Amino acid sequence: MRTTNNAGCLTAIVSSFSRIMLLMYWIARPVQMNAAFNTFILPCLGFMFLPFTTLMYVLLIQGVGGIQGLDWLWLILAVVLDIATVAGAGVANRDRLPGSNPGQTYVVAEAPDKPANPKP
């Protein structure tokens, strides 16, 4: 019996949501993004690989100008959420690769002792 896994849609929505929110924040508040990052490369890499962490960092850095106290907890939770998003996508797509179906078993047939149709 084959079961279906619909977690791929949820993973796509969650991962695209963080990127959309980061992009909208970047468009709406470019001064805050420039204050958080000195270069253009780090936010672009954050947009591609760690969108939740980048968004959380930009939100946390604005108040005091540094990460301190419970801000580290929020930043670590954002990193865990980014890792969970990537892991969820991997789990959702694991049976799309050939030979990696988790329920797949291989049966090796033994060679018969006598040929089925011997030739005279």
In terms of average pLDDT, the best of 8-17, 77-86, 109-118 is 77-86
* Confidence bin at 91 (pLDDT 50/70/90): confident
Q: Where are the domains of the chain?
A: 7-96
- Classify burial at 47, counting beta carbons within 10 Å of its beta carbon; exposed 0-12, middle 13-18, buried 19 or more: middle
CB atoms closer than 10 angstroms to residue 92: 17
pLDDT digits (tens, 9 = 90+) for 13-69: 766 888 889 999 999 999 888 888 888 899 999 999 999 999 999 999 987 778 888
Residue 69: exposure state from Cβ atoms within 10 A (0-12, 13-18, ≥19): exposed
What does the alpha-carbon distance between residue 74 and residue 57 come to, in Å, rounded to a whole number? 9
* Whole-number Å distance between alpha carbons of 29 and 67: 20
8 or 35, greater pLDDT: 35
Cβ neighbour number for residue 22 with a 10 Å cutoff: 22
Indicate if the pLDDT at residue 111 is higher than 80. Answer: no
Q: 26: part of which helix (H) or strand (E)?
A: helix 7-28
Interval 58-89: pLDDT, tens: 999 987 778 888 999 999 999 999 898 888 77
The structure tokens 């084959």 sit at 2
pTM of this prediction?
Answer: 0.66
pLDDT at residue 103 greater than cutoff 60? no
